[in-house]
Amino acid sequence: MKIFFILLLAGVSFAQTATPTPTPTIRETVTVSADAEQPIEQVSKTVNVIDGQEMRNRADITLIDSLRSIPGLRIQQLGGFGRTANIKSRGLRNHDTAVLIDGVRLRDASAITGDAAPFISDLTLTSVSRVEVLRGPGSSLYGTNAIGGTIDFQTPRPQPGWHGQLSGAGGGLGMGRFRGNVSYGTDDGKYGFNTGVSRTVFTKGIDGNDDANNTNWQGRFDAKPTSRTSFSARFFFSDAFVKLNTDPDTVGTPPVSNTGIINADLGVNFAFDADDPDRTQDSDFFNGQFVFNHAFNDKLDLQTYYSGLKTSRTNDNGILGAGFQSASSSIFDGQIHTANARLRWTANRVNTLTFGYEFEKEKFGNDGFTPDGSGDFFTRAGQSSNTIYANDLVSLYDGRLQFSGGLRAQFFTLDEPTFSETNAPYSNLVLESPPSAVTYDASASYYFSKSGTKLRTHLGTSYRVPSLYERFGSFFNSFPPPPFIAIGDPFLKPEKAWAFDAGIDQNLADGKVRLSAVYFYSKLDRTIGYGNVAPDIGDTERPFGGYINTEGGDAQGAEFSGEFHPTKRTDIFASFTHTNSQQITPQVSGSGVLTTLGIPKNQFTLVANQRFGNFWVNFDLLVSSSYLAPIFSNFSFSTYVYRFDGNRRGDLTSGYTIPIKGGKFNLRIFGTVENLFDNEYFENGFQTIGRTARAGVNFSF
């Protein structure tokens, strides 16, 4: 794995570069904006870069596959391909990591926490140049949800001439995958396009009845009519369907009290997710981006963009399956429209200033249906925000000393919600403008050129705006009265957090060895949680609790990583992460457990790639310690905290490339054995794959 530590310039997106050349090389510069590069010894924030070649070496299918070996990240997928995927950064929660597409936030306005969680598993690698992962706070750059980290999924720029590829793969669990893309760019670089489509299916899945399929389409058009002006239009569409199982459950008679921790023992005190023949989810999203850049002169340039994002999810559940289930359908629709403009002024050779403004409008819709119509309802809500931001980058002593500082202020306005006549829980309320969110960010680094040593530090605050579901959510009560239960709070305040990290990077053996050590600390000052007891909202009662502002917690630890290139054909990356994450109040009420759920204290990753001419072998390994996770009991209607063993998963991929006509065309044959050691482990009680294999072929020009 090639890991680079990149300073993100304020007010601009992560780097956007073409797909790297097939042979990995040690790069001395990294791209930090759409048109500028910085030497690696000058950067100060911690960013991991996964390039296209590494994804091909591992035959990755989804974004989740590519992120598993990143230090400080905890990746979970609950039940296999297409099902809920979680990303936890540096011991924080799922929704504390922001996801971007080409530098623009991807969020589901109808998600419970307003983040990208419902669609993370739908991001398959159709046409991607690289993925960049910022570890640490990023709200001053990217706004809401960037509390623990930011992941940018980047599409490739068109290159001169015609290029394309066609690939197919198949394997265990009923897996089949097709992918094709084509691109063209003029020789003068003024115009170009690329487009790609993929179709991935798992007809059997883990338990033999877990059908899941996903179709992705991407398109991009770039134009540079003059040397100072450029335009880009980018589109991303995803359509996914998955059959869902029931949730894991307790076995036997659970304890009288949920206090303490239960050591998970399959079939003795817990059962993994059981097959549910009539529970499905159909989800899709469409994102369109339009970006305009103009350089007025060598010192002043302008970037503006508009992003329109529409999400939709339909959850259907029948009466079949384990436990008591009633038939119902739920539809969640979200829209987010974002307009952003920023000016970047290079005042002199040592100082770059950025000023910007952003407007964002989001809409939320939730419709519920039951067979007899008694539970039919709808909810519509919306909110908007105005944001101003500024950043300054100072570079001294030929770039060896770097300072970066930023400030972002966001001001919110709530729209008047509307409800069905039978579901009007927030009547007679006078809505107030929610509190503003102000964040700052500062980083510094110094590079000692003689020893190849870099010292760096980063301090920043961050926030998460309450979702519209957390503000106005309600659900159908099958045991009336009343028929509908309110759980939201329109007056919730944004979550607040701050974080600090300090690190040292060391280059040895002329760049053949790169070592890194980072200490990090994150503090959640104010969060949003679900309380079993919650105050009423005006005349609206919340008899079963609801969302409230709560105290947070903290997470601290250390990340150690090393990149080794003993030969030109050998690349080895290894990392170890220790995390101690605690809550002020238990995440499971009554348990008394303050340890953050889902976070192992220790995690080790290894990625090794060896090339023999046109043949290559890649092995990656993930080893983690035990962790805690909640399981809800359908017997006692209580939630218990279980301790699950960590995983010991190793994947082996190999392939051979056949050049045709001197390399003008290439035929690549590859295969992967997943979970090589057939390690049995569970993600929060959900089943994971045993040893399975797949193989494929790729033709490119």
- Return the pLDDT at 10: 30
Q: Does residue 24 carry a pLDDT above 80?
A: no
What pLDDT is attached to residue 543? 86
Mean pLDDT of the chain: 90
Give the pLDDT of residue 428.
Answer: 76
Q: Which residues of 84-97 are buried (b: 16+ CB within 10 A; e: fewer)?
A: bbbbbbbbbbbbbb
DSSP conformation class of 601: S
**pLDDT of 390:** 96
What are the tens digits of pLDDT across the range 293-321?
Answer: 999 999 999 999 999 999 999 999 999 98
| Cα–Cα nearest to 127, from 42, 55, 43, 69 | 55
Which pair of tokens denotes residue 517?
Answer: 């050590």
* Of the candidates 162, 170, 175, 230, the residue with the CA atom closest to the CA atom of residue 202: 175
Q: Is the pTM of this model over 0.85?
A: yes
CA distance 154 to 159: 15
Burial class (CB in 10 A: 0-12, 13-18, 19+), 411: middle
Residue partners of 109: CB distance under 8 A and separation at least 6: 311, 334, 335, 336, 362, 363, 364, 467, 468
Is the pLDDT at 474 greater than 90, yes or no? no
Average pLDDT over residues 544-564: 94
Average pLDDT over residues 526-533: 90
As a whole number of angstroms, the distance between CA 221 and CA 223 comes to 7
Domain boundaries, the chain: 29-700
Residue 655: pLDDT over 70? yes
- Residue 697 near residue 669, CB atoms below 8 Å: yes
**Total Cβ atoms within 10 A of residue 659:** 11
**CA nearest to 621, candidates 563, 560, 575:** 575
Is the pLDDT assigned to residue 2 strictly greater than 80? no
Kindly give the residue spans of alpha helices, DSSP state H, lying in 133-202. 139-142
CB 8 within 8 A of CB 141: yes
CATH code for the structural domain at 29-700: 2.40.170.20
**Structure tokens of 149?**
């980290």
> With b meaning 16 or more CB within 10 Å and e meaning fewer, what string describes 316-335?
bbbeebeeebeebbbbbbbb
